[in-house]
Amino acid sequence: MKKAVLKGIGDIEIVDGPEPILKDGEALVEVAACGLCHSDVDSYLGKSLDLIPVPRVCGHEFGGTIKKLNGKTKLKVGDSVVVSPIISCGNCYYCKMGRDQLCISAGKGVQIPNIGQARDGAFAEMIAVPICNLIKIPDDFDMELTGIIEPVAVAYADTKGIKDSNVVIIGAGGIGLIALKLLKQNNNRVIAVDISSKSLERAKKAGADYNVNIEDKKRVEKIEDFLKGGFVDYVLNYHLSNDTMDFAIAVIKKYGEIKNMSTSDEKIETDINATIIKEIKMVGHMAYTMEEFKEAVDIIVGKKINVKDVISAKFPLEKTKEAFDYKIKENVAKVIIVN
């Protein structure tokens, strides 16, 4: 079977080899689709190569068909499944409090105990995964969408509980767009902020009520004018930088909430004084619990939002390197690898 192996910075090689051997409790999944995450791109660009060991097969946003089972389960060979990529121990302090993504088994330096980071991922024809990470989906499900369910789970966890509010989203990339669609379902007014006019155009099509370019010197005033005396209740920041933090702190209402969902290479020198004076709630957020992942699957299976249009391009596994180069060059929302 073929797999796309990341060997170093900008270096992906298609390697042919034997199928993975299943350990107890694992299933062999034939991958149908796997999305390219910005974290995969960071690894490809060498930004997180000190965090993940190479050679490594990346890819954690995927689903496919069960080919073999090595453990007790109600699932059957031939079932269509989507895979929650977080492999947690279930026993540590964090797992017991329901924060699977913070499990101590991730290992030092690895952000999340993820398939595709802590172990080989799904830019491959086949992958071995724990049976308990599989979620069955209907046989007639559009399997290309399995490549985007994981980002839906991220966006779902980021936006859960936000309703009837004014929300600024910074960064209208793949997850930002999905978050926007989910927020619109819950009667929120959404203002999209990005540096790229192409991304803002996409956000408008996806239902944004208002758009502002982050480079606009009057960005805060424009949003205040748009809200006509209303306040920004939440800022969801998908592009952490000193500038976006300054903007977030300036635009958020007193006692509002800023959620930061991306990490940054630059050292962030936030104006802590302003966060105290305005009593701003600052929250860091990463990934989702297994429950939230299942709820996100239900949203997509139940067609509650359309995410097909978030997929900008598809590449075959053999062209995984080209897919990375395309995503980096074209600044598109979502690229998926399809088998």
Binding site for Zn ion (CB under 5 A): 37, 88-89, 92, 95, 103
Q: What are residue 141's DSSP bridge partners?
A: none
Q: How far is the CB of 190 from Zn ion (least distance, A)?
A: 22
Q: How far is the CB of 85 from Zn ion (least distance, A)?
A: 8
Q: How far is the CB of 212 from Zn ion (least distance, A)?
A: 26
Nearest residue to the partner Zn ion, using Cβ:
37
How far is 68 from 314, CA to CA, in rounded Å?
Answer: 27
For Zn ion, which is the closer residue by CB, 176 or 256? Answer: 176
Q: How far is the CB of 105 from Zn ion (least distance, A)?
A: 5
How far is 49 from 43, CA to CA, in rounded Å?
Answer: 5
For Zn ion, which is the closer residue by CB, 1 or 92? Answer: 92
Contact 258, 280 (CB under 8 A): yes
For Zn ion, which is the closer residue by CB, 156 or 247? Answer: 156
For Zn ion, which is the closer residue by CB, 95 or 333? Answer: 95
How far is 109 from 124, CA to CA, in rounded Å?
Answer: 25
Taking Cα atoms as reference points, which of 321, 334, 325, 308 lies closest to residue 123? 321
Structure tokens at 68: 């073999």
For Zn ion, which is the closer residue by CB, 222 or 285? Answer: 285
Q: How far is the CB of 221 from Zn ion (least distance, A)?
A: 35
The DSSP symbol for 34 reads E
For Zn ion, which is the closer residue by CB, 175 or 190? Answer: 175
Which residue is associated with the tokens 């952000």?
111
SS3 state at 235: strand
For Zn ion, which is the closer residue by CB, 128 or 154? Answer: 154
How far is 210 from 225, CA to CA, in rounded Å?
Answer: 11
Q: How far is the CB of 226 from Zn ion (least distance, A)?
A: 31
Q: What amino acid occupies position 239?
A: H
Q: How far is the CB of 41 from Zn ion (least distance, A)?
A: 10
b/e string for 81-118 if b means 16 or more Cβ within 10 A?
A: bbbbbbbbeeeeebbeeebbbbbeebeeebbbbbbbbb
How far is 175 from 282, CA to CA, in rounded Å?
Answer: 20
For Zn ion, which is the closer residue by CB, 103 or 311? Answer: 103
Q: How far is the CB of 38 from Zn ion (least distance, A)?
A: 7
How far is 32 from 83, CA to CA, in rounded Å?
Answer: 11
Length of the chain: 339
Contacts of 145 (CB under 8 A, 6+ apart): 33, 300, 307, 308
